[in-house]
Chain A
Amino acid sequence: GQQLNQSPQSMFIQEGEDVSMNCTSSSIFNTWLWYKQDPGEGPVLLIALYKAGELTSNGRLTAQFGITRKDSFLNISASIPSDVGIYFCSYSGAGSYQLTFGKGTKLSVIP
Chain B
Amino acid sequence: DAGITQSPRHKVTETGTPVTLRCHQTENHRYMYWYRQDPGHGLRLIHYSYGVKDTDKGEVSDGYSVSRSKTEDFLLTLESATSSQTSVYFCAISGTGKNYGYTFGSGTRLTVV
Q: Which residue of A lies closest to B104 (CB)?
A: A42
Give the dominant DSSP class at B's interface: strand
What number of residue pairs across chains A and B have CB atoms under 8 A from each other? 47
Question: How many residues on A have C-beta within 8 angstroms of the other chain's C-beta atoms?
Answer: 20
Given A97-B31, A97-B96, A98-B48; A45-B102 close (CB under 8 Å): yes
For this complex, into which size category does the number of interface residues on chain B fall? 20 to 34
Shortest distance from the beta carbon of B46 to any chain A beta carbon, whole Å: 12
Q: Which residue of A lies closest to B43 (CB)?
A: A101
Q: Which residues of A contact B102 (CB under 8 A)?
A: 33, 35, 43, 45, 99
State in angstroms the CA–CA spacing of A98 and B103 once bound together.
13
Q: Are A88 and B45 in contact (CB under 8 A)?
A: no
Q: Which residues of B contact A88 (CB under 8 A)?
A: 42-43
Beta-carbon contacts under 8 Å, B86-111 to A: 90, 92, 94, 96, 98-107
Q: Are A43 and B104 in contact (CB under 8 A)?
A: yes
Q: Are B48 and A44 in contact (CB under 8 A)?
A: no
Q: Which residue of B lies closest to A102 (CB)?
A: B42
Beta-carbon contacts under 8 Å, A36-58 to B: 40-45, 48, 50
State in angstroms the CA–CA spacing of A100 and B42 once bound together.
10
Q: Which residue of B lies closest to A89 (CB)?
A: B42
Beta-carbon contacts under 8 Å, B57-110 to A: 90, 92, 94, 96, 98-107
Q: Which residues of B contact A35 (CB under 8 A)?
A: 102
> Is A104 interfacial (CB 8 A cutoff)?
yes
| Residue from B43, B45, B48, B101 in contact with A45 in the complex, judged by beta carbons closer than 8 Å | B101
Mask: chain B, 13-27; 1 = CB below 8 Å from A; 0 = not? 000000000000000
Starting from the known contacts A42-B92, A88-B43, A100-B45, 10 additional A-B residue pairs (CB-CB under 8 Å) come to A40-B106, A41-B106, A42-B90, A43-B104, A45-B102, A45-B103, A99-B94, A101-B42, A101-B43, A103-B42
